[in-house]
């Protein structure tokens, strides 16, 4: 089902989309956004006859962006990121894997050291035997496995989106190894979380997958790839309900290691074939995991760089460069919950702007406002102010919000003085072009406000 996912504020919130959806600050909207820069009714998302969704901006003052492009109307694609004010939304129109992930659990078991047939240290995979010592059939089989492993490396190294990367990893693993089910778990906050599940038989996708806590502890604690015993045939597993209850005959679990960092675990199991996996399979699966870990780390780094770039692009219109860098580095967090504090507001507008607009061409007015606002906002940021909004020819700045600022009123007054000085330079430039000077009025007020 198509949905919008709220990415701002630290709490993931999803909004299922119907045929007609409204977005804005007002509580009557289908998607309410608590952001003062967003209009009361900011945009519509409308389902088209072909099943796609059209995003339409309703003439909002601060605009609607898809990626870094301001739009008026655009068909949304899966993965599009929408920005309204300081709020980011992700459009998703792909069947969710959440149901499958909820069917993966890690259960306690009584598996001990004797239940594990073979282990391979993450950084000490055994070498293949020389060609002269191998029968031709074995050589062909191993060559085919290495070919597919090479294809995996070629297939995943350029993918920087985890939602695309993880399915590709398990698809290639299933081509190579006789597995019935596979799970990729990634570390989040020190805990393994299932991120992608694959079944060889789609009809079994509704079945619960229970992973052995003992085996996962061996993999994560010792950084070893583990090949388990034939659970359904081995009496030693009588107490290991997490394996027996599902009739699992053979399992392989390998760590996803990037240098010394454990990123997660890959798991394959077989419900049909006894001793489905060999020690050579475990070595190969471990090699696949090593390639996968590099790709996963690259995808995470790319995502981090992308998020930093988007944060800069999102906030550099509103905050000073210093505060933007603090946000990007994580030193500063902007809370969605309002806080009562002393705030100083600065209001600045152009005197006689209406009469000026009536006499000048629209293009001249826009060019003048862009040049004027650019100069004034630079001064606002220089004095640690925050741009609240533009209202026609009016500029509203905040001091002490959203970040507390000592002597906020003094900063606002110094900002106003510098704005007046910059206006003189601005008017000199207009005089050289034969244009009339402009005059501005500046008001400053300090009081308690919710930031």
Per residue in 139-153, pLDDT (tens digit) is: 776 776 677 667 777
Q: How far apart are CA 131 and CA 129, in angstroms?
A: 6
Which residues pair with residue 270 across a beta bridge?
250
Overall residue count recorded for the chain in this entry: 451
Burial class (CB in 10 A: 0-12, 13-18, 19+), 154: exposed
Mean of per-residue pLDDT scores for the chain: 80
State the pLDDT confidence band at 321, using cuts at 50, 70 and 90: low
Handedness of CA 333, 334, 338, 339 (dihedral sign): positive
State the pLDDT confidence band at 102, using cuts at 50, 70 and 90: low
First to last CA, the chain: 36
State the pLDDT confidence band at 43, using cuts at 50, 70 and 90: very high
Q: How far apart are CA 292 and CA 440, in angstroms?
A: 60
Domain boundaries, the chain: 3-94, 99-233+244-303, 324-450
C-alpha closest to that of 256 among 294, 303, 210: 294
> By the 8 A CB rule, do 214 and 110 touch?
yes
pLDDT in tens, 386-433: 888 888 899 999 998 877 888 999 999 999 999 999 999 999 999 998
CA distances from 59 to 4, 42, 63, 72, 133 (A): 21, 8, 7, 8, 74
Q: Which residue has the higher pLDDT, 109 or 390?
A: 390
Please state which CATH class domain 99-233+244-303 belongs to.
alpha beta
Tokens of 70: 């301001």
State the pLDDT confidence band at 243, using cuts at 50, 70 and 90: very low
Residues 97-114 have a mean pLDDT of 58
What is the topology classification, in CATH, of domain 324-450?
Alpha-Beta Plaits (3.30.70)
Q: Alpha carbon 206 to chain centroid distance?
A: 28
Q: Is the pLDDT of residue 246 over 70?
A: no
C-alpha closest to that of 224 among 286, 296, 177, 292: 286
pLDDT at position 298 is 87
Q: Is the pLDDT of residue 80 over 80?
A: yes
**Pairing of the two strands 181-188 and 31-32:** unpaired
Q: How far apart are CA 199 and CA 163, in angstroms?
A: 17
Dihedral (Cα; 156, 160, 161, 165), 10-degree rounding: 10
Residues 52-61 have a mean pLDDT of 93
Residues 83-89 have a mean pLDDT of 90
pLDDT in tens, 164-213: 889 889 988 888 888 989 999 999 888 899 999 988 887 776 777 888 88
Residues 319-328 have a mean pLDDT of 64
Q: How far apart are CA 339 and CA 402, in angstroms?
A: 9
pLDDT at position 234 is 41
State the pLDDT confidence band at 328, using cuts at 50, 70 and 90: low
What is the topology classification, in CATH, of domain 3-94?
Tumour Suppressor Smad4 (2.60.200)
Prediction pTM value: 0.51
CA distances from 269 to 220, 228, 253 (A): 18, 9, 9
Q: Which residue has the higher pLDDT, 306 or 110?
A: 306
State the pLDDT confidence band at 311, using cuts at 50, 70 and 90: low
pLDDT at position 111 is 45
């Amino acid at each position: 089902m198509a949905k919008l996912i709220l990415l701002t504020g630290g709490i993931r919130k999803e909004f299922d989309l119907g045929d007609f959806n409204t977005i804005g600050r007002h509580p009557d909207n289908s998607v309410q956004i608590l952001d003062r820069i967003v209009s009361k009714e900011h945009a519509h998302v409308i389902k088209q006859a072909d099943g796609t969704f059209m995003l339409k901006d309703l003439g909002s003052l601060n605009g609607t962006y898809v990626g870094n492009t301001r739009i008026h109307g655009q068909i949304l694609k899966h993965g599009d990121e929408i920005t309204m004010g300081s709020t980011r939304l992700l459009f998703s129109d792909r069947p969710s894997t959440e149901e499958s992930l909820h069917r993966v659990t890690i259960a306690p078991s009584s598996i001990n050291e004797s239940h594990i047939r073979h282990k391979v240290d993450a950084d000490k995979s055994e070498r293949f035997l020389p060609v002269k010592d191998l029968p031709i059939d074995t050589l062909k089989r191993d060559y085919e496995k290495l070919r597919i492993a090479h294809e995996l490396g070629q297939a995943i190294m350029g993918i920087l989106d985890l939602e695309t990367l993880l399915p590709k990893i398990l698809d290639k693993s299933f081509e190579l190894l006789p597995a019935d089910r596979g799970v990729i778990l990634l570390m989040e906050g020190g805990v393994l979380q299932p991120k992608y599940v694959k079944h060889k038989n789609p009809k079994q996708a509704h079945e619960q997958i229970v992973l052995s806590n003992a085996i996962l502890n061996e993999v994560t604690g010792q950084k070893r790839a583990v090949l388990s015993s034939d659970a359904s045939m081995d009496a030693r597993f009588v107490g290991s309900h997490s394996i027996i209850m599902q009739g699992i005959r053979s399992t392989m679990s390998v760590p996803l290691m990037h240098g010394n960092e454990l990123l997660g675990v890959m798991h394959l199991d077989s419900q049909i074939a006894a001793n489905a996996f060999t020690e050579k399979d475990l070595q190969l699966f471990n090699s696949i995991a090593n390639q996968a870990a590099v790709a996963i780390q690259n995808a995470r780094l790319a995502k981090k760089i992308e998020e930093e770039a988007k944060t800069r692009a999102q906030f550099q219109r509103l905050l000073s460069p210093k505060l933007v860098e603090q946000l990007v580095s994580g030193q500063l967090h902007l809370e969605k919950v309002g806080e009562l504090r002393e705030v100083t507001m600065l209001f600045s507008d152009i005197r006689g702007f209406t009469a000026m607009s009536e006499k000048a061409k629209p293009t001249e007015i826009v060019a003048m406002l862009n040049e004027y606002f650019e100069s004034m906002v630079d001064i606002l940021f220089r004095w640690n102010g925050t741009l609240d909004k533009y209202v026609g020819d009016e500029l509203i700045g905040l001091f002490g919000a959203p970040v507390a600022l000592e002597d906020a009123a003094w900063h606002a007054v110094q900002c106003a003085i510098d704005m007046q000085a910059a206006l003189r330079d601005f008017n000199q430039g207009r005089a050289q072009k034969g244009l009339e000077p402009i005059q501005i009025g500046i008001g400053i007020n300090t009081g308690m406000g919710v930031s």
